Structure 1
Amino acid sequence: MQAWPQPAILYSQPLPTPAEENALFTDEEVLRFKLTFNYQELQKDREEMRVYHKATLTYTDTAGTPVQVDLKVMVRGNRRRDPAVCKFPPLMLNFSRKTTPHTVFEKVNKLKLVTHCIGDEYVIREYLVYKVYNIVNEKSFRVRLCQVEYVDMEGKRKPETRYAFLIEDDKEMAKRLQAKIVPDAHVIRMDQTDAYAMAKLALFQYLIGNTDWSVPYRHNIKVIAADTAMIPVAVPYDYDYAGIVAAPYAVPPPELGIRTVRQRLYRGYHFPDKTYREVINFFNIHQADIYRVYTGCTLLDKKYLKQTLSYLDDFYETINNPKAFRTAIVRIGQQNQKSYVVVKGLEEVE
């Protein structure tokens, strides 16, 4: 792997101009559509070497007119691709620019679709985590909640309607923010990114109880930068292992020494006291906004909502108690900076 390059090495093409907001992700309404494909063929195609399968997507536009778009779909993901984990795997939707003009998908090429896996409840929970991070940092992935009717083109299964959500393509996200994705080959450590943004990201991951991320290993993290003269920013995604989601299959790696994913563990580096104060102040200012993401969602189970509000309460009690904050965040951050525990399975950084 390579070190962070000197100016003009990383980008040979001009940086993108500001992208227009994509209505697909600015609209908060649930997007309802029908996805038709060969169900059996797709379900069987979960190995490392996978292929795209023909599909059609049908929805009704704002004028009440049915719209049909031809596309290709492929099973994606790592753990959730395993049939022992997910009964229905996450999908990659691959659109052709020729078939999407004048549709809600006209500005996209590829989109990740997070599906119900083992149940709609967990889709909603993970979707809301993305919405929370949208509050924490505008440099984040946009998402769109969907209700999808899955139809087998062979007619061998009854149609099934479930919740899902679309995730903004990483290149489109970077373009919207007038940046580009820093290639994974270029090693970026946490202390080489924007300190304030990194501190917010690290504390956000602590808030949701997520240890399943790494900046240098690019594990569930994309790094963006306007150019090589600018300080890069880390952008997180993929939260199914977060304690706040509490997926039944989510188990913390033994190296971390925690019993469950609900047990919080800070995985960030140490930051100056001034940065800590600024970040704590930010989370306090936006506390009501963060809680409203959950209290304003009518799709959540009432028991889960109560548990989640209590989980958030615990976070705020920690960051607003100097002694507790020093124990849970400051000291652990100092330890992480000296000797970071690397989870087995991540690629070795050279």
Structure 2
Amino acid sequence: MKHRILTLLACTAIAAPAAAEKPLFEASEPIHLKIQAPLQPLIRNRSSDAPVTGTLTDPTGAALPVSLQLRGITRRTSEVCDFPPLRVDFTTAPPQSSPFSGQKRLKLVTHCKSSASFQQLVLLEYSAYRMFNLVSPKSFRVRLANIDYVGADAKPFTSRIGFFIEDLSDVAKRNGTKSSHAPERIPLADLSGPDAARFALFEYMIANYDWSMRAGPPGEECCHNGRLIGPLAPGQTVPIPYDFDFSGFVSAPYAGPPPELDITDIHQRLYRGYCIHNPDAVAAARQFRSLQPQILGVLGQTPGLEPNTQQRATKFLNGFFADIANDESTAARVLKKCVS
């Protein structure tokens, strides 16, 4: 018996570091960090994909070597954002003592513009990710950060809120599968019905139309503001949404309704899920209804979200919950506009 206990303890000791090897998304409190790099040249050259080198100083004080690269489409342009979204590559492995231990490459959602109103937009988009986390573990986790940006000359550039997005491979690993990289378009039959319906109903909840769960932009892999995990096989491919700034829920000033849809305002809701998945969408609506207190509760749990912003967002989400108040309402008010 003694030998068995010692064996169990040894196994536990071996397993413990593995469980905590990627701690960044295991906690929810905001982290404070500094990013130092030649930011002005990077921001000026919006058309360039050339990375710049710098350091990310984490909350432990460790200065981690990183490579920064511009990313995104709309928010990358200077006409829309003063400060573009970034991709952060760790050029050496962060130490185990760092919150970034185990991380290699991360997307960083930045503040776009410096005004207080844009800080609220960042927090709303962050809260949308947290809401989808409640609905499905097959989702991108996020971590809020208070970031001090510093130029290569060590002069302060700006300090703003942002958040990191979990890497797709880690999402897949958490869910016992692998990430998938598909050609420009995938067959409808490959989509997992329950996951596709959940994806579409969530986008309906936040009134977002800037996505596709089956196709990517011309010349790029699938999908537009969505990523895939699981086998590329009938009924087994799981689409995962991201990038919610064009939603009515976030209501960014640069967002507008797609011209091909019969809506005039981004706050209007129009269901864009597939009719073949309607039975799964009814089941998803039941799940959303059961989670209504927790979904609305995310707003109160988002640090820095102002009361007026919370109230507007709550009112907007309550319109969705009225639409899915029961199975009959879900069918009549949501699913009747499904995509054939």
Unaligned runs of 5+ in 1: 1-18, 338-350
Q: Secondary structure at the match of 2:159?
A: strand
Does residue 1:235 correspond to 2:233, yes or no? no
Paired residues, number: 311
- Deviation, 1:39, is 2.2
Pairing partner for 2:81 from 83, 86, 99: 86
CA RMSD across the alignment = 2.1
- Deviation, 1:194, is 1.5
- Deviation, 1:186, is 6.8
User: Separation in 2 of the partners of 1:241 and 1:190?
Assistant: 24
- Deviation, 1:259, is 1.3
Pairing partner for 1:278 from 283, 287, 298: 283
User: Separation in 2 of the partners of 1:159 and 1:186?
Assistant: 39
AA of the residue aligned to 1:105: F
Higher fraction of helix? 2
Does residue 1:145 correspond to 2:140, yes or no? no
Deviations 1:277-334 (A, max 9, x none): 422221111111101001233411222211111111111111125665334322211x
Q: How does 1:300-339 map to 2 (within 5 A)?
A: 300-320=305-325, 324-333=329-338, 336-337=339-340
User: Separation in 1 of the partners of 2:312 and 2:229?
Assistant: 35
| TM-score of the pair, normalised by structure 1 | 0.83
- Cα separation, partners in 2 of 1:230 and 1:277, compared to 1, 3 Å: closer
- Deviation, 1:176, is 2.5
Contact 2:49 2:69 in 1 (8 A): yes
Pairing partner for 2:102 from 107, 129, 140: 107
Does residue 1:76 correspond to 2:71, yes or no? yes
User: Separation in 2 of the partners of 1:106 and 1:327?
Assistant: 48
User: Separation in 1 of the partners of 2:107 and 2:193?
Assistant: 29
- Cα separation, partners in 2 of 1:159 and 1:137, compared to 1, 3 Å: same
- Cα separation, partners in 2 of 1:220 and 1:272, compared to 1, 3 Å: closer
Deviations 1:165-199 (A, max 9, x none): 00011122222322222222174244432211211
User: Separation in 2 of the partners of 1:201 and 1:98?
Assistant: 34
Q: Secondary structure at the match of 1:81?
A: coil
Query: Which structure is higher in RCO with an 8 Å CA cutoff and minimum separation 6?
Result: 1
Unaligned runs of 5+ in 2: 1-17, 216-222
Q: How does 1:1-350 map to 2 (within 5 A)?
A: 20=19, 22-47=22-47, 49-61=48-60, 66-98=61-93, 100-118=95-113, 119-155=118-154, 158-185=156-183, 187-217=185-215, 218-226=223-231, 228=233, 231-271=236-276, 274-320=279-325, 324-333=329-338, 336-337=339-340
**Which deviates the most, 183-192 or 218-227?**
183-192
Q: State the identity %.
A: 32
AA of the residue aligned to 2:243: D
**Which deviates the most, 199-208 or 166-175?**
166-175
- Cα separation, partners in 2 of 1:20 and 1:54, compared to 1, 3 Å: same
User: Separation in 1 of the partners of 2:184 and 2:284?
Assistant: 28
- Deviation, 1:50, is 1.7
Contact 1:265 1:328 in 2 (8 A): no
